[in-house]
Amino acid sequence: MRHILGLVLGILLAPLMLIGVGWSVKQTYSAYAQFAITPSRLVLPLLVLAACGVVYAMLIATRMSPLASFIVGLPFLVLTVLALIPSALVSVLGVYQPIGDGLSILVVSGGAMIVGLVGVMPIVVPSQWARWRARPAAVGGFGGPGGYGGYGGQPAPFGGGPAGSPLVGAGTNDPPTAGYAGENTLNWPQNPPH
């Protein structure tokens, strides 16, 4: 079901991403080229570009089907390949001039190749195709059977550390283990002088 949803989302979002990115790149480029860098000319294009980036990142980062990011990234990669044949690139991008100009800027700068590869690569990762399964509950959680074993080989808090650890029996009612008979392992006095 998620692959069908990813296919539908990819088909719907691919043209919207091309239009949004192409338009916003053209607007920001023309503002910088004319030295008209004012908030009134840059706010809307940059917001559209940020929205396209957030939607694209959500397609890639979520457990959505890799088809969604593949379909959205593929046109950017195709435009990059068409850059090898300039006449084909001009004929494809000349259909709607304001968006085509922005996309040609993105293709020539190499940005279209990066955007395309980022969207296409998740399709070759096998874990993206696997069904998500919930992990089983951990046995012996905090206070449960089996006790709390700490993380990464570190001793558990509040005593209960590994055998031979100075934390075993320290400040708890646990009996001291062999090798810890109340001596201070840090060479501090047991009872400081008054």
The pLDDT value recorded for residue 40 is 80
Exposure class string for 14-43: b at 16+ Cβ within 10 A, else e: beebbbbbbbbbbbbbbbeeeeeeeeebbe
Do 101 and 32 lie in a common domain? yes
- For residue 175, give the 3-state DSSP assignment: coil
Final residue of a structural domain among 129, 148, 173: 129
The pLDDT value recorded for residue 86 is 79
Exposure class string for 99-112: b at 16+ Cβ within 10 A, else e: bbbbbbbbbeeebb
Q: What is the pLDDT of residues 3-42, one digit of tens each?
A: 888 889 999 999 999 999 999 999 998 888 888 778 888 8
Region label for 101, one of left (φ > 0), alpha (ψ between -120 and 50) or beta (otherwise): alpha
Number of structural domains, the chain? 2
The HSE-up count of residue 29 (CA atoms within 13 Å, CB side) is 16
Do 73 and 118 meet the contact criterion of CB atoms below 8 Å apart?
Answer: yes
Do 122 and 144 lie in a common domain? no
Say if residue 184's pLDDT is above 90: no
93 domain-assigned: yes
What residue type is assigned to position 93 of the chain? Answer: L
d(CA 32, CA 21): 16
Q: What percent of the chain has pLDDT over 70?
A: 66
What residues make up the domain containing 89? 2-129
Confidence of residue 134 (pLDDT cuts 50, 70, 90): low
Mean pLDDT (whole number) for 79-90:
84
